[in-house]
Structure 1
Amino acid sequence: MRVVVGTCGFQRGRRIHYRLLDAVEVQQTFYDPPPKSQLESWRREAPENFEFTVKAWMLVTHGYNLRLWRRLKREVVGDRSAYGGFKLTRENLWAWSVTLESASALKARIIVVQTPATFRASEDNSERVVEFFNNVERGGFTIAWEPRGTWWNNRDLLEETARKAGLIIAGDVLRERLPPRGQEIVYARLHGLGGAEVNYRYKYTDSDLEMLASIICGGGWREAYVMFNNIHSFDDALRFKQRLGGWCGS
């Protein structure tokens, strides 16, 4: 089984990540995608076996939000109300093309699409996800969908939607947000324990990480991406990576 351990975003200098971890999920592509040349530079400076994954631009999923849009430096085209929620609009198609460009520049394999809690589990939203991903260019990338909110209480609808849209389901496996049986890749995004859906200040204990190893190594998946998304992400990821073999009995 191949296990890739990394962080959501660079918490240390890039070269430290390259040397000690396996991957990083690039967060800048969610808030304000950097120029293609910058991402290509990151790819060139990283070791060949270091993996980048890309978080899809918020415009595709979240739509207009003044707090988030204040972070944008890139000029946004068209009607702001036409963005978000997987609307099959000219604007969303353009935003998705920017995500594909970013993923290509980094030679990524996986694009992570995270939907907000306001994008609730419903038949209408399910149809929107399916329609969007069955009509857009995919560029050969594996697309991992992490829904927030009520989707996890509607597992049948979640799994049916992902299957029809050709997506894998990502989630916090320590919060029992596991992919469906038969999914060959697990993409774990770990947001801390306690609190509501996320608790970014949480620092994982050794027993937490041992439990994580048990889930990852005992799940029967072909590959696992274990991506820490807390303020202690680098330290926790490094501890997990260093002790993974012992915990998994290898």
Structure 2
Amino acid sequence: MGEGRRVLLVGAGGWDYLASSGDRLKAYARLFDFAEVNATFYHLPRLSAVRSWRRRAPPGFTFAVKCNKRATHELRLRAEEETYRVLERMAEAMRLLRSWMLVLQTPPSLPLDTVKVREVGELLRGAGLCAGVFWEARTPLSPGKLRGVRAEMIRAGVTPVVDLGREAPVEGAQAVYSRLFGSAPLTDESLRLIDERLKLSGAELAVLSFHGAAMYKDAHRFKTLRGR
């Protein structure tokens, strides 16, 4: 971040939609230092493809792996043999990408309380995923219940995912992982608000993953705003 020893990673949800006549990943990596791999959410990738991603990106480029929906949406992160198999495949993709970030996105239909969070924490530890897990829980919760669930995530060693365009960072989290959504380009005011919330968070690590039709432009505009 250029502030003390903080680290800021800025990028988008994959590189497949970048307008480029050549290798899109290589073109993307010239613009950004980070990408959230959304392809892993929709299908379990061939390991040869994963190796290709790492090979085509520069050494300092950082990947985050989004957990496959089979584990998060269909198996609902239950401690079952198949869930462990999916998590093991995600861990293998992370290893090949030299990634230390796994993103969980769970659906609005998932019943979520502190007990479920503790169960997921045990599941992750059982799969050897003890750190670098970021969880976007889309279950509709009251503000009080949401605070309790997020506090339990932190106790379980999981970082709650937020959208800094809509809310402040979670108190007590040592890292900020923000998935930013919009059907239209974010306004300059919105980008400045995101920047201000980052500065106030005091987090040692901040990750901004832009999504939507204007995600590449928004990510680039934020970097320009930041002077990076």
Q: TM-score, normalised by structure 2?
A: 0.88
Is the CA contact 2:165–2:191 (under 8 Å) kept in the aligned structure 1?
A: no
> Hey, what does 2:12 align to over in structure 1?
7
Q: What is the rounded CA distance, in whole Å, between the counterparts of 1:166 and 1:221 in structure 2?
A: 15
1:82-231 matched pairs, under 5 angstroms: 84-138=75-129, 141-151=131-141, 153=143, 154-176=145-167, 178-181=169-172, 183-192=173-182, 201-231=183-213
Q: What is the rounded CA distance, in whole Å, between the counterparts of 2:188 and 2:165 in structure 1?
A: 13
Is the CA contact 1:152–1:177 (under 8 Å) kept in the aligned structure 2?
A: no
Q: What is the rounded CA distance, in whole Å, between the counterparts of 1:124 and 1:39 in structure 2?
A: 34
SS of match in other structure, 1:6:
strand
Distance 1:224 1:152, change over 3 A: farther
Displacement after TM superposition at 1:144 (Å): 0.5
Displacement after TM superposition at 1:177 (Å): 5.3
Q: What is the rounded CA distance, in whole Å, between the counterparts of 2:27 and 2:163 in structure 1?
A: 25
> Hey, what does 1:196 align to over in structure 2?
none
Q: What is the rounded CA distance, in whole Å, between the counterparts of 2:200 and 2:113 in structure 1?
A: 32
Displacement after TM superposition at 1:245 (Å): 3.3
Identity within the alignment, %: 27
Displacement after TM superposition at 1:25 (Å): 0.2
Supply the AA of the counterpart residue of 1:43. R
Displacement after TM superposition at 1:174 (Å): 1.5
Displacement after TM superposition at 1:151 (Å): 4.3
Displacement after TM superposition at 1:102 (Å): 1.2
SS of match in other structure, 2:126:
coil
Is the CA contact 1:119–1:125 (under 8 Å) kept in the aligned structure 2?
A: no
Q: What is the rounded CA distance, in whole Å, between the counterparts of 1:137 and 1:214 in structure 2?
A: 35
Supply the AA of the counterpart residue of 2:33. D
Displacement after TM superposition at 1:121 (Å): 2.6
Task: Write out per-residue CA displacement over residues 42-98 of structure 1, whole angstroms, 9 at most, x where no aligned residue.
Answer: 1111111111110011111100xxxxxxxxxxxxxxxxxxxx111111111111111
Supply the AA of the counterpart residue of 1:41. S
Q: What is the rounded CA distance, in whole Å, between the counterparts of 1:162 and 1:89 in structure 2?
A: 21
Runs of 4+ in 1 over 4 A off after TM superposition: none
The answer as to 2:215 corresponding to 1:233 is yes
SS of match in other structure, 1:92:
helix
Is the CA contact 1:133–1:166 (under 8 Å) kept in the aligned structure 2?
A: no
Choose from 29, 41, 45 the match for 2:40: 29
Supply the AA of the counterpart residue of 2:92. E
Q: TM-score, normalised by structure 1?
A: 0.80
Structure 1, gaps ≥5 residues long: 64-83, 193-200
Supply the AA of the counterpart residue of 1:204. L
Is the CA contact 2:121–2:158 (under 8 Å) kept in the aligned structure 1?
A: no
Distance 1:86 1:177, change over 3 A: farther
Q: What is the rounded CA distance, in whole Å, between the counterparts of 2:189 and 2:25 in structure 1?
A: 29
Supply the AA of the counterpart residue of 2:59. E
> Hey, what does 2:3 align to over in structure 1?
none
